[in-house]
């Protein structure tokens, strides 16, 4: 008894910390969180079964037509079935030669296993062949892969005898990021093109056009960039206006000033038909321009927080191929403050900035100002033979004045802001960062919704939906977060197949195929399914199941915009009536923990106490400690006995989660029944036994049911065992939510 009393302050302190961390957290929380083991139990995941030893898995190409997923890793190229990645995978072993590995190590490399062939590029060359490149142990190499006419042929092999130089196509260093796209036989790549990694460039190689690149060693063009994405986007119906947009981050030229971020996010572009200049910028881009991407949020104190480290870009196609939506994923540049954000940009806003004023350093402070002088013709950045230059047939015909202007003014003055001038998703003050993004447009009963899949550096994937609340604000909901790898590792690449309803996730150590939805995980009631607000799911009259717009069934209940179970689930909301009452015992002067954990962590909880048929809210803040798992009644008295109701409210829908009947035991009786026979006063013990003699309990059975759980006192536990065996009325084991129980601290599990 004394030991328990001594531990009580420590228990209360731990519960207080838990209560503060749980209820003081205003950051978005996932409605459903599934560990890797729980995700396996849903049977909605397929980890790739390794039959070879390799690392650094990256999904480099997804062929929707042939249903194949092409994976690159250290010295291996893998072709997988998109429906089942473990169904007869096709594997090519493509190592660097032993001689090249030895030369790499002699050059001072190989300390972290870099002296190998890391596959970094897989692009379709034609219907039967792929073009692939690897680092080649610090000497990039490329070749062709024959994949056959149809996936059913199971043909996958290197073209014998063909090896091409990978310089300008693939990096030397496997730790350096690259981006590439094969368009009309020409390979466009953002890559470092030298052994030391000091010469970054946007390169065009292969094909029938001359090889061109960005200006070499000119920090005004590229200043230590990290390439993220390359995408062809047409500007008009005129093919000569087609441009290549590339997204990257780079060091700022003005970072020494202190007010300018050290890293800036950029979008650049060049014309696909740019062949370089005639006398100046020979074999260099003459249409190269870049602009800053801004993604920031203004706090309550008016301070603007910028997310400048561009991490990933997803291009969401629309009905107009000239106007896709650009989803850009950012993180903060600092190591102390962790934060991530997703901003969405429209192509019209991007084009308006490229059609605006150029940046120019002017004045005694040599600061950036808009260029106000004469703009040469054709306007820098305009494509030859396009809508505005029908008489100019090649960039080699550009005037020296136009070419020299581009060389000195590659930066646009105005930055590009996201739609609505604010991020779509923001995470601050969390212990993780987003690393990758994929977006799916999902048709639901009440409209079309964008669902974001966000990979993190702790090896999870969050499924997020952003809903409009009114004309100026939105509501962000994390539908679920799942652990996709057995051994947690940052997500490297993320690819989505809307057609097959599958998500493919890679890390340094493996690959996992995950279904886009797990509807039964939301719960067994119509209200649970409706409150989830997942456009992939709907209530079918019996369970929460996958929703397809083509299904015409009146019993389909779905409400993504409002998530209102009262309107959608009439006739199905009988869960509360079936809720059973549980009984808890407490001892006067001790404490009692009443457990209540809603299915959704996004719900708010309120407790009520019912006595003599009247139910009142529990507002005794001094005597009651509220936690995320229930309430702790600190010091019990007989007046605390009653029926306690735990009411959860989510999205204005209220329902009872738990009913607990609390019964209080008299302390004197408990102490009398549990007092040990002491040798110090045998006469008093004899008199006590005569007054309170009880028949001896029968011998205990082989297996006893779990006793009623009280405040952790060994004497009271003996009372439970005695009563159960004497009256032969064993209590039924209490059913608990395994996932929630695992999250309780040991001290919390004892206090019940």
Q: Pick the closest to residue 633 from 648, 616, 618 (CA basis).
A: 618
Per the CB < 8 A criterion, the answer to whether 532 and 568 are in contact is no
Residue 19 has pLDDT above 80, yes or no: no
Amino acid 317: pLDDT = 94
Closest CA to 82 of 461, 452, 496, 460: 496
The CA-atom distances, in angstroms, between 43 and each of 8, 463, 501, 507, 696 are 43, 18, 14, 21, 53
733 conformational bin, left if phi > 0, alpha if psi -120 to 50, beta if neither: beta
Q: Which residue has the higher pLDDT, 311 or 256?
A: 311
CA dihedral 679, 684, 689, 691 (to 10 degrees): -170
pLDDT of residue 556: 74
- Supply the pLDDT for residue 703: 45
Least confident of 167-171, 549-553, 633-637: 549-553
User: Is the pLDDT assigned to residue 8 strictly greater than 50?
Assistant: no
pLDDT tens track for 52-97: 889 999 999 999 999 999 999 999 999 999 999 999 999 999 999 9
pLDDT in tens, 136-163: 999 999 999 999 998 888 899 999 999 9
Q: Which tens digits make up the pLDDT trace of 444-499?
A: 988 899 999 999 999 999 999 999 877 778 889 999 999 999 999 999 999 999 99
pLDDT at 364: 66
Q: Look at residue 675 in the predicted model and tell me its pLDDT.
A: 73
Tokens 């249409």 found at: 287
Q: What backbone torsions phi and psi does residue 239 show, to the nearest 5 degrees? A: -60, -30
| Strand-by-strand arrangement of the 45-47 sheet | 45-47, 511-515, 502-506, 493-497
CA dist., res. 514 & res. 47, Å (int): 8
Q: Which tokens in the block code for residue 168?
A: 């300008």
What pLDDT does residue 631 have?
87
With bands split at pLDDT 50, 70 and 90, how would you rate the model's confidence at 555?
low
How much is the pLDDT for 336?
66
Residue 722 CB burial class (10 angstroms; 0-12, 13-18, ≥19): middle
Tell me, what's the pLDDT at 270? 97
pLDDT in tens, 339-350: 899 999 999 999
Higher pLDDT, 529 or 574: 529
Residue 378 has pLDDT above 80, yes or no: yes
pLDDT tens-place string over residues 403-450: 999 999 999 999 999 998 999 999 988 889 999 999 999 999 888 999
Q: What per-residue confidence (pLDDT) applies to 640?
A: 86
- Collapsing DSSP to helix, strand or coil, 545 comes out as strand
> Average pLDDT in the 235-260 region?
85
Tell me the C-alpha distance between 216 and 445, whole Å.
Answer: 54
- What pLDDT, on a 0 to 100 scale, did the predictor assign at position 122? 98
Output the average pLDDT for the chain. 84
Stretch 257-264: mean pLDDT: 73
Number of H helices, E strands in the chain: 12, 43
Are 84 and 95 in contact, with CB atoms under 8 Å apart?
no
Distance CA 456, CA 534 (A): 21
| Three-state DSSP state, 119 | strand
Cβ-based neighbours of 683, under 8 Å, separated by 6 or more: none
Q: What is the CB neighbour count within 10 angstroms for residue 345?
A: 22
At 264-282, the pLDDT tens digits run: 999 999 999 999 999 999 9
- pLDDT at position 601 is 78
Whether the pLDDT of residue 576 is over 70: the answer is no
The model's confidence at residue 376, banded by pLDDT at 50, 70 and 90, is: very high
Residue 263: per-residue pLDDT: 92
DSSP notation for 481-493: EEE--SS-----E
pLDDT at 714 over 50: no
Per-residue H/E/C for 356-409:
CCEEEEECCCCEEEECCCCCCCCCCCCCCCCCCCCCCCCHHHCCHHHHHHHHHC
Long-range contacts of 107-113 (CB under 8 A, 24+ apart): 107/138, 107/195, 109/137, 109/138, 113/55, 113/74
pLDDT above 90 coverage of the chain, percent: 55
List the strands of the sheet with 186-192, edge to edge.
179-183, 186-192, 200-205
Q: What are phi and psi of 743, to 5 degrees?
A: -85, -10
Q: Average pLDDT of 14-41?
A: 65
Number of CB atoms found within 10 A of residue 450's CB: 18
pLDDT above 70: percentage of residues in the chain: 82
Q: Parallel, antiparallel, or unpaired for β 460-468 and 474-483?
A: antiparallel
**Distance (Å, whole) CA 164 – CA 125:** 14
Burial of 737 (0-12, 13-18, 19+ CB in 10 A): exposed
The pLDDT of residue 610 is 86
If you average pLDDT over residues 289-315, what whole number do you get?
91
């Amino acid at each position: 008894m004394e030991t328990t009393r001594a531990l009580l302050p420590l228990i209360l302190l731990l519960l207080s910390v838990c209560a503060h961390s749980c209820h003081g957290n205003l950051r978005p929380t996932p409605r459903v969180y599934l560990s890797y083991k729980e995700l396996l139990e849903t049977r909605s995941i397929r980890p790739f079964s390794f039959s070879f030893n390799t690392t650094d898995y990256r999904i480099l190409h997804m062929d929707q037509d042939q249903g194949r997923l092409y994976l690159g890793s250290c010295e291996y190229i893998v072709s997988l079935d998109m429906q089942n990645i473990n169904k007869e995978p096709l594997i090519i072993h493509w190592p660097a030669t032993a001689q090249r590995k030895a030369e790499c190590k002699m050059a001072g490399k190989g300390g972290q296993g870099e002296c190998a062939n890391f596959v970094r590029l897989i692009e379709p060359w034609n219907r039967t062949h792929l073009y692939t490149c690897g680092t080649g142990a610090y000497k990039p190499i490329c070749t062709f892969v024959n994949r056959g006419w149809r996936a059913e042929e199971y043909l996958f092999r290197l073209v014998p005898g063909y090896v091409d130089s990978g310089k300008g196509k693939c990096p030397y260093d496997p730790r350096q990021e690259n981006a590439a796209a094969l368009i009309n036989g020409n390979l466009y790549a953002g890559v470092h093109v030298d052994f030391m990694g000091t010469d970054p460039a946007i390169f065009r190689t292969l094909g029938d056009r001359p090889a061109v690149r960005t200006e070499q060693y000119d920090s005004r063009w590229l200043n230590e960039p990290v390439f993220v994405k390359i995408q062809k986007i047409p500007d008009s119906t005129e093919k000569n206006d087609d441009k290549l947009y590339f997204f990257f981050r780079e060091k700022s030229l003005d970072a020494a000033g202190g007010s300018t971020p050290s890293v800036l996010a950029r979008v650049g572009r060049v014309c696909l038909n740019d062949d370089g200049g005639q006398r100046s910028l020979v074999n260099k881009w003459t249409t190269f321009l870049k602009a800053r991407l801004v993604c920031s949020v203004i706090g309550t104190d008016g301070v603007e927080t910028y997310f400048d480290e561009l991490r990933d870009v997803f291009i969401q196609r629309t009905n107009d191929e000239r106007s896709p939506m650009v989803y850009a994923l950012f993180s903060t540049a600092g190591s102390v403050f962790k934060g991530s954000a997703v901003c969405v940009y429209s192509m019209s806003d991007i084009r308006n900035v490229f059609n605006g004023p150029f940046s120019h350093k002017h004045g005694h402070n040599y600061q950036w100002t808009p260029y106000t002088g004469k703009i040469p013709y054709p306007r820098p950045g305009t494509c030859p033979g396009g809508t505005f230059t029908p008489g100019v047939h090649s960039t080699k015909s550009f005037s020296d004045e136009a070419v020299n202007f581009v060389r000195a003014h590659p930066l646009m003055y105005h930055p590009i802001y996201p739609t609505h001038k604010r991020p779509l998703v923001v995470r601050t003050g969390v212990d993780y960062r987003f690393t990758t993004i994929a977006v799916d447009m999902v048709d639901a009963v009440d409209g079309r919704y964008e669902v974001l899949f966000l990979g993190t550096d702790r090896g999870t994937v969050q499924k997020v939906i952003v809903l409009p609340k009114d004309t100026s604000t939105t509501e962000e909901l994390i539908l679920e977060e799942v652990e996709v790898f057995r051994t947690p590792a940052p997500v490297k690449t993320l690819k989505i197949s809307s057609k097959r309803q599958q998500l493919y996730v890679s890390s340094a150590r493996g690959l996992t195929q995950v279904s886009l939805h797990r509807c039964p995980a939301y719960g067994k009631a119509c209200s649970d399914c409706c409150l989830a607000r997942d456009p992939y799911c709907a209530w079918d009259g019996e369970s929460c199941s996958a929703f397809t717009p083509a299904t015409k069934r009146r019993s389909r209940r779905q409400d993504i915009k409002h998530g209102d179970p009262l309107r959608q689930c009439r006739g199905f909301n009988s869960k509360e009536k079936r809720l059973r009452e549980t009984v808890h015992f407490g001892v006067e002067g001790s404490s009692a923990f009443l457990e209540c954990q809603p299915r959704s962590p996004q719900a708010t909880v309120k407790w009520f106490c019912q006595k003599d048929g009247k139910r009142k809210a529990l507002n005794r803040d001094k005597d009651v400690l509220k936690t995320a798992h229930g309430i702790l009644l600190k010091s019990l008295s007989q007046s605390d006995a009653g029926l306690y109701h735990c009411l959860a409210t989510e999205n204005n829908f209220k329902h009872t989660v738990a009913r607990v009947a609390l019964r209080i035991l008299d302390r004197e009786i408990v102490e009398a029944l549990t007092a040990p026979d002491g040798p110090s006063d045998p006469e008093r013990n004899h008199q006590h036994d005569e007054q309170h003699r009880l028949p001896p309990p029968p011998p205990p059975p082989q297996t006893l049911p779990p006793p009623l759980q009280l405040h952790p006192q060994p004497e009271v536990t003996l009372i439970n065992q005695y009563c159960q065996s004497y009256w032969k009325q064993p209590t039924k084991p209490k059913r608990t939510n395994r996932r929630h129980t695992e999250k309780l601290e040991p001290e919390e599990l004892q206090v019940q």
